[in-house]
Structure 1
Amino acid sequence: MDKSYPDITRNLSANLKHLRKEIPEVTQAFSGLAGAALRDGALDKKTKELIALGIGISTRCDGCIGFHTEALIKLGVTRDEFRDVVGMAIYMGGGPSLMYAADAMAAFEQYSAIPD
């Protein structure tokens, strides 16, 4: 496995910091959208993050896999919950999602190994 999801998210975070300076109105609006979408409602935050992970896998987005896996680890996701979402992403995304699901499991292992 050549990908390190903690490195991917760290590098993206640095790039996003610069992007926020370049287009602050757009990035602030996106942050507001994210905050509103993730607020507890009929679904709790963990369920919403699980959905986001599934979409990230099926769209083959490394950053999405990294950021949402990290959030899920912090929210106390279990391996069984994580595997169920990975399975649904494979079902919905076919072969390419199978490849990214393997990467998502690697991200789970990497973030699980980082002490709090």
Structure 2
Amino acid sequence: MSDMGQTMHDFKMGMGMMTGEAPEVMAAFNGFMDKVLCDGVLDTRTKELIALGMAITARCSYCIGIHVNKALHAGVTHAEIIEVCKVAILMGGGPAMTYIAEVKKALDLFEREKAA
């Protein structure tokens, strides 16, 4: 399993635990996330790009994996993700730059899965 594959596996395990231990909290969180990321004045593609940029500047590997995957499923291109990386580096500096490696891992994993 790749590093990003392990990261996503670990994330799903944690979310599974929380769903079992605090189902009402997870239902509320998931409902909130679904409402925020659905099409509105901004479409889902745009919102996923924003979320990815914020995940990079927040230095959240789990969030990067989730939002790269969701962005690709929303029709975002590889080139658009790279553009978001540039903006995230502008806003987050060197620390954000180090998390571009996580974006690469996520792209490698999810583009390969999407092509299969």
TM-score (norm 2): 0.90
Partner of 1:36: 35
Alignment of 1:104 onto 2:106: no
Report the Cα distance in structure 2 between the residues aligned to 1:102 and 1:11, rounded to whole angstroms: 18
- Structure 2 unpaired stretches of 5+: none
1:28, distance to aligned residue in structure 2 (A): 1.1
One-letter code of the match for 2:6?
D
Q: CA RMSD in A?
A: 1.4
1:25, distance to aligned residue in structure 2 (A): 1.6
In the alignment, is the contact (CA less than 8 A) between 2:48 and 2:71 conserved in 1? yes
Alignment of 1:21-100 (within 5 A): 21-100=20-99
**Structure 1 consecutive aligned stretches of length 4 or more whose deviation exceeds 6 Å:** none
Is the helix fraction higher in 1 or 2? 2
Equivalent residue pairs, number: 114
Deviates more, 1:101-110 or 1:75-84: 101-110
In the alignment, is the contact (CA less than 8 A) between 1:56 and 1:65 conserved in 2? yes
Report the Cα distance in structure 1 between the residues aligned to 2:75 and 2:41, rounded to whole angstroms: 19
In the alignment, is the contact (CA less than 8 A) between 2:65 and 2:102 conserved in 1? no
Percent identity (aligned): 37
Report the Cα distance in structure 1 between the residues aligned to 2:15 and 2:105, rounded to whole angstroms: 24
Report the Cα distance in structure 1 between the residues aligned to 2:29 and 2:51, rounded to whole angstroms: 15
Q: What is the DSSP-based 3-state SS (H/G/I as helix, E as strand, rest coil) of the residue aligned with 2:103?
A: helix
> C-alpha deviations, 1:42-94, integer Å up to 9, x for none?
11111101111111100100100011111112222212111110001101111
In the alignment, is the contact (CA less than 8 A) between 1:4 and 1:107 conserved in 2? no
One-letter code of the match for 1:30?
F
Deviates more, 1:98-107 or 1:44-53: 98-107
